[in-house]
């Protein structure tokens, strides 16, 4: 009797973004710069929110969690891609590939759930401003975040466990720069009917449900804003949602284009470009979108660099202490 898993492949070969040496070097520099920018930008958002008491509110609590997840999301794929480009070794072990896929699905799903939680926060703030403090209590915010992490983990674990039941024979080249679910299903020499059904049912829920929730929230927000008599009040209300809407458009536009569009529209180039958009570009742009369009965030970042607890202040204080020690010794 044959076992359920007859995997013969011990490793996979990630084809990456290019096979040309010069292009690989340019891509390494480009993606390293983007990854460092992503890490620095999201870390600054987290620190600014943590150290500024004025930002200890539900909206910024959710934003700090989104920044942390974006940092983890990018770290799941980009460092391995950079190592592959610089070393020339594009292989990844079978267990490592499944692990990368699990964390990729996990963090992508958390991103989706957090975006709908932020949309709900904006809905309460604009449509029910007098009840905002009583509705968006810390306990509810913590519950929203914990639920996002839990449901996303269940979704990622479901796809990963089912993938371990498939067989992978001789063909082990993945036309991608990381281990994604769709390319792995195409490589399998087993029947993937159950996996495909779950991709478009259970797997689609972390995308479609939050997306519908965001649409409903913003439909009510726009209806409430249109009832505001003054043009200044309308601009102020829309400005509080502009950053979130920009992030939602970038994230869901790319994700839906890859996973929920008809297979006839799919090509390797289109899927790879869309994957780069939501795995690298969007997490890098999020800190800029939220900081440049938000006066409170810009003030918090300024305090982070110039305030009494800033890194620049600590660095200058350390230099003064070293110079004093040097003078004392002389």
HEC string of the chain equals CCCCCCCCCCEEEECCCCCCHHHHHHHHHHHHHHHHHHHHHHHHHHHHHHHCHHHCCHHHHHHHHHHHHHHHHHHHHHHHHHHHHHHCCCEEEHHHHHHHHHHHHHHHHHHHHHHHHHHHHHHHHHHCHHHHHHHCCHHHHHHHHHHHHHHHHHHHHHHHHHHCCCCCCCCCEECCCCCCHHHHHHHCCCCCHHHHHHHHCCCCHHHHHHHHHHHHHHHHHHHHHHCCCCHHHHHHHHHHHHHHHHHHHHHHHHHHHHHCCCHHHCCHHHHHHHHHHHHHHHHHHHHHHHHHCCHHHHHHHHHHHHCCCCHHHHHHHHHHHHHHHHHHHC
- pLDDT score at 203: 78
306 within a domain of the structure (yes/no):
no
- pLDDT score at 241: 79
153 within a domain of the structure (yes/no):
yes
189 within a domain of the structure (yes/no):
yes
Burial class (CB in 10 A: 0-12, 13-18, 19+), 234: middle
- What CATH number is given to the structural domain containing 185? 1.20.1070.10
- The structural domain count of the chain equals 1
Residue 193, C-beta contacts closer than 8 angstroms, at least 6 positions apart: none
326 within a domain of the structure (yes/no):
no
310 within a domain of the structure (yes/no):
no
307 within a domain of the structure (yes/no):
no
Parent domain of 192: 11-298
pTM above 0.85, yes or no: yes
6 within a domain of the structure (yes/no):
no
87 within a domain of the structure (yes/no):
yes
- pLDDT score at 308: 58
For the chain, which residues score pLDDT lower than 70? Answer: 1-8, 257-267, 292-293, 307-330
CA distance linking residue 41 with residue 88, whole number of Å: 29
């Amino acid at each position: 009797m044959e076992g359920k898993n007859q995997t013969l492949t011990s490793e996979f070969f990630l084809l990456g973004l290019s096979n040309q040496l010069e292009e690989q070097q340019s891509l390494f520099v480009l993606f390293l710069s983007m990854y460092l920018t992503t890490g620095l930008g999201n870390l600054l958002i987290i620190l600014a929110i943590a150290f500024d008491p004025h930002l200890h509110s539900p909206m910024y609590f959710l934003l700090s969690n989104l920044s942390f997840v974006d940092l983890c999301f990018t770290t799941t794929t980009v460092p391995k891609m950079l190592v592959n480009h610089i070393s020339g070794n594009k292989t990844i072990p079978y267990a490592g590939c499944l692990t990368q896929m699990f964390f990729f699905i996990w963090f992508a799903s958390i991103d989706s759930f957090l975006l709908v939680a932020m949309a709900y926060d904006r809905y309460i703030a604009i449509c029910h401003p007098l009840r905002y403090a009583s509705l968006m209590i810390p306990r509810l915010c913590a519950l929203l975040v914990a639920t996002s992490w839990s449901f996303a983990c269940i979704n990622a674990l479901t796809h990963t466990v089912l993938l371990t039941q498939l067989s992978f024979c001789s063909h082990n080249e993945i036309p991608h720069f990381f281990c994604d679910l769709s390319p792995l299903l195409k490589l399998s020499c087993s029947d993937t009917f159950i996996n495909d059904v779950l991709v478009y049912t259970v797997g689609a829920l972390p995308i479609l449900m939050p997306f519908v929730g965001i649409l409903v929230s913003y439909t009510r927000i726009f209806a409430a804003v249109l009832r505001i008599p003054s043009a200044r009040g309308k601009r102020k209300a829309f400005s509080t949602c502009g950053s979130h809407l920009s992030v939602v458009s970038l994230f869901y536009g790319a994700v839906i284009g890859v996973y929920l569009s008809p297979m006839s529209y799919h090509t390797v180039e289109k899927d790879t470009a869309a994957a780069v958009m939501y795995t690298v570009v969007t997490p890098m742009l999020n800190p800029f979108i939220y900081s440049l369009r938000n006066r409170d965030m810009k003030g918090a970042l300024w305090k982070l660099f110039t305030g009494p607890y800033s890194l620049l202040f600590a660095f200058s204080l350390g230099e003064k202490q070293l110079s004093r020690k040097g003078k004392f010794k002389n």
